[in-house]
Amino acid sequence: MKNLAPNILRQRLLIEGFYTTDMSREILEKYLLNLAEQLNLRTYGKAMIFSPGSGMGKAENAGYDAFIPLIDSDISFKTQLKIIVAAN
């Protein structure tokens, strides 16, 4: 769509990286809550964390999708359990 709600100011921050811990729903929920707290952001709901069952998609894309609602925005988190490095 062209010029979708041009009066709305949109700001996004994208953080990419690697983690060195075992990933689990509990660790991810604590991370999202702590991130919001450290940034002085107010949540209004629990973290929603999804991990599609095996066979639902490509194995290399398996991981977690998470979301925590904030008063003025939200935090989304995506992870892959396997690291895929493209060959040049």
pLDDT tens digits, 33-82: 999 999 999 999 899 998 876 667 777 777 888 999 999 888 998 887 76
Residue 63: give the domain boundaries. Answer: 25-78
Domain count, the chain: 1
Place of tokens 């769509």: 1
Q: Would you say residue 62 lies in a domain?
A: yes
In a domain, 46, yes or no: yes
> Three-class SS of residue 19?
coil
pLDDT at 49: 92
| This prediction's pTM | 0.72
86 domain residue, yes or no? no
Q: Is residue 69 part of a domain?
A: yes
CA distances from 68 to 23, 32, 37, 59, 77 (A): 17, 7, 12, 25, 9
